[in-house]
Amino acid sequence: SIGSAANPKKRKACDPAPPPLSSSSSSSAGASAPLASSASSEPTPAPPTAAPGDPATPVAGPSDTSAPEPEKVPRKPNPYDSIKHRIVTNDGTTDSLVKLIGLKSLFAKQLPKMPKEYIVRLVFDRRHKSLALLSPDPEVRGSDEEIIGGICYRAYPEMRFAEIAFCAVSASQQVKGYGTKLMNLLKRHAVTEGVEYFITYADNYAIGYFKKQGFTKTISMPKGRFHGLIKDYDGGTMMECYVHPSVDFTRVPEMIEAQRTFLLSRIRAVARSHRVVYPPLPRGWNPGDMEGTSRSNEAVVRAYRIPGVREAGWTLADLQAAHNAGSGGKDGDRAGARLKSDLLGLVRRVEEQQFAWPFREPVDTNEVRDYLDIVKDPIDLSTMERRVRRGDWYKGRRMLFSDMMRMVNNCKLYNDSASPYYECAVGLEKFLPSIFPEFS
C-alpha cells in the first residue's frame, strides 16, 4: 500500500524486531525500530571621512595590499561543558543500573507505541551503550526524573560505525535545544571510540529531526561494513551520518565564526570599499538634471548619482534589476509574486500535517512496479512545490486545489481502504477545506 511515497520493501531481519512504530512527541525519536520524533567578525576602525563637499578621502594607498592579521581571541568556554552527561553501560554497578532504569522509563514514556520488552532488552544489553543527559537539580538525583534525555546505541568497533537504537528527550525539557545538544555530545564521544558513521532507521515523523542533525538518506558507507549486523525494518527509512574525526561538533558555531573572521581579513587585503569613505548626503541633496528620465526610472537614476555608487562598480542595469526585484516590477510581476508566496504557504501547511508523510515525495516505481499501471497521472507535494517555484505552472489557487484532490484520489485508488495510506488520504481530504474554503 502506498500514498505518494512507496512503502519501503519488506526485508528479512537478521534478528526478530517489532514493526515500525512512532511516537506522538515531535522531538523524541526511537531508532533501530523506525524512529519517532515526538558571529560576526571584529569591527574595522572607521577611517577618517572627507568634509562635506570635498572629494573622497582615500584611507589607505593602493600599495597597501597586505592583509591585516586578525587578533587572537581567547578561546571561549564551551557551553557544552556545563551540561551534565555520562555514558552508561550495564556494568552491574548500582549507579549504572539506576540510570539505565531511568533511560528505560524515558524511552517507554516518550515512545509509547514501542514494546516495553524490546526497550528493556536493548537498554540493558551489555553490547549497547547509552548517553544520558542529567538534570542539574539535586532534588531529583537518583530518580527517573534525573534523566532528561538519552540516546541508546550499539557500536561496531571493527567496522567503525554505530547503530542508534533510541533517542528521546523528556517532554518537560523539549523546545530547549536538548535534541541537538544530545546528538552533538554523542558525535564528540563517538570520535573517541573510532566511530566514523552513525546508521539508524527513522520513521516518517523523525526524518526531519535527523536531517537537522546531519543525517542523510544517501548511504555512502560500503554495504559490506553493516550488512548482516543491523536489523532491517519495513516502513522505516535508513539514514546515515558521517562523523568527521577532526571536527568538535560542540564547537561548530565557534568554528564558523573563526572561518568568517579569516575570510573577511583576506577580503580586506584586496577590497577598497572599506578604505574610501564618502561624506553623508546633505539635507535636500539634488541629483541634478532628471530631464528625459521616465518616472519609473527616476529612483534608479537618483541612486546611480549618489557619490560612490558608480565607483563601487554598479551600473544602471544592476540598479534596475535590484529595483525590480525589490519592488516586484510591474503590477503583473507583483501579482505573480503574491500568488507564488500564497501557494507556497499552502503547500507548506499541508506538509506540516501528520497525515502528509506519504505524499511528500514521488512514488518509487522501481519498488512499486504496478503503480503507473493503476495511477495514470501521479502527483506529490515535492512536484507541486517545484511547479510553484517555477512560477509559470499554476495560474491560481484552483489549479493547486485540483492537484491536491488528484493526489487524494490517486492514493485512494491504489490503496486498500484499511491501509494507513488510505487513512492519510482521508485526513488530507478533510483538511483541504480549511485552506481552500472557496472550493469546499
Active-site residues: which are they?
A: 163
Give the CA distances from residue 11 to residues 8, 43, 234, 354, 383, in Å, rounded to whole numbers and listed in that order.
9, 58, 7, 26, 29
Classify burial at 202, counting beta carbons within 10 Å of its beta carbon; exposed 0-12, middle 13-18, buried 19 or more: buried
